[in-house]
Amino acid sequence: MLRLANACLDLDGLSPGPTRAVCVAYGERFGRTARLYSAYHRWLLDAVDLRKASTRELTGPIDRSAAATAVERAEIFRDAVFRLAQRNG
């Protein structure tokens, strides 16, 4: 989802860099303005948290249902980003 958010920002000519900057810029450009469904920003933040947890193992093993939900949301987000890209030519 982070790469998809980066793709959205790239459509606007932005390249914010680190994960936190991508999340903030995406939220400002797409979440607050409702260019894309605002819940996608929350999904992005949740996916980033899941990614951090998996690399640092702070909370123990990743729950399979949380991972499955993240994958489903990523697919929905991917389709929305694809439609956005088509609209922007």
What 3 state SS string does 47-82 have? Answer: HHHHHHHHHHCCCCCCCHHHHHHHHHHHHHHHHHHH
Cβ within 8 Å of residue 49, ≥6 positions away: none
The 10s digit of each residue's pLDDT in 26-74 is: 999 999 998 999 999 999 999 998 888 777 765 567 778 988 999 999 9
Q: How many domains does the chain have?
A: 1
Assign 23 a pLDDT band (cuts: 50, 70, 90).
very high
Domain that holds residue 10: 2-87
What gap in Å lies between CA 42 and CA 21, rounded to an integer?
15
- Do 2 and 44 meet the contact criterion of CB atoms below 8 Å apart? yes
